[in-house]
Amino acid sequence: MTRNIIEVSDLSVAYAHNPVIWHINLAVKANSRTAVVGPNGAGKSTLIKSIMNLNKPLSGKVEINGKKPKHALKNIAYVPQKGEVNWDFPTTVLDVVLMGRYVHKGWFKRMNKADVAAAMDALSTMKMEAFKDRQISELSGGQRQRVFLARAICHDADFYIMDEPLQGIDITTEKLIIDTIKALQAKGKSFLVVHHNLDTVEEYFDHVIILNKSVIAQGTIEEAWKKENIDKAYDDRSVTT
């Protein structure tokens, strides 16, 4: 048995009066590529935000590498949804990727040559070197996602959390991102990825968590990725709406 990098027990989160996720118990295996799938409003983003201590749960406990999230956050490279930042911010591609190094610097310290070299390495992994001086507002959706992933690579964490990294991007970028994820997994990294395309789950991931307010199924693709589980998650929704 491989160890668990994340353990969540009895987690419930509500916004105002509406419960978003209920009694979540789950584990993410170290060195896995774990997908989180579920219909719209199933609480996928809420779940990963709770794991990163970004919202206050009603109940429950999250442990990352056996530690409280607050003390383990620096070891997480987060790839947000594209819409979460202001793309008109006056900054360049290289600058955004360099932000991945801030976590290793602490307050007040400046970037040095080694940091720039690391950022350029990450950019070349994502085939974006030619864009290093572009303003981020001039990038396409796929290029924005590449920049985010380059920043995460630059961060050099053991654990990546990604919120719909393949949403609204071109097919070349999608392939590049998945190849990069697989290459990083071979180097011992772990992934928790919110994913929306049911057709590619088997091809892209080795573990899956099927979510609809609570966990419908979880485990390896062979164990959990079954028609009845998928139907249960998605049909419940169509009945209630």
Partner 1 sequence: MIEVWFVLIVTALATSILGVFLVLKGLSMTTDAISHTILLGIVLAFFITQDLRSPWLIIGAGLIGLLTVYLIQVIINTRLIKQDAAIGIVFTALFALAIILVSRYADNVHLDLDVVLMGEVLFAPLNRIEIFGFSVPNALWQLSLLLVINCGFVALFYKELKLSTFDPTYAYIAGFSTTLIYYLLMTLVSITAVTAFDAVGSILVINFFVAPALTAYLLVKRLSHMIWVSFIFAFINSTLGYLAGDHLDVSMSGATSFVAFIVFMLVFLLNPKGFVSTKVKQHNQKKVFARAMILMLMNEDEHRTISRRGIQSHFNLDDKSFKKHIEHLLLNGYVEQNTDGYTLTRRGEEYTHYTRIKYELPAS
Residues near partner 1 (CB under 8 A) are: 15-16, 52, 54, 73-74, 76, 78, 80, 84-86, 89-92, 95-96, 99, 102-103, 105-111, 135, 137, 151, 155
Residue closer to partner 1 by CB (options 97, 184) is 97
Residue closer to partner 1 by CB (options 53, 185) is 53
Nearest alpha-carbon partner for 25 in 196, 180, 216: 216
Closest distance to partner 1 from the beta carbon of 190 (Å): 16
Closest distance to partner 1 from the beta carbon of 28 (Å): 17
Closest distance to partner 1 from the beta carbon of 218 (Å): 24
Closest distance to partner 1 from the beta carbon of 54 (Å): 7
CA distance 36 to 198: 10
List all residues 6 or more positions away from 228 whose beta carbon is below 8 Å from its beta carbon: none
Q: Please say whether the dihedral angle defined by the alpha carbons of residues 49, 53, 54 and 55, taken in this order, is positive or negative.
A: positive
CA distance 69 to 52: 6
Residue closer to partner 1 by CB (options 98, 215) is 98
Residue closer to partner 1 by CB (options 152, 215) is 152
Residue closer to partner 1 by CB (options 78, 205) is 78
CA distance 124 to 39: 35
Closest distance to partner 1 from the beta carbon of 131 (Å): 13
CA distance 67 to 119: 29
CA distance 188 to 41: 32
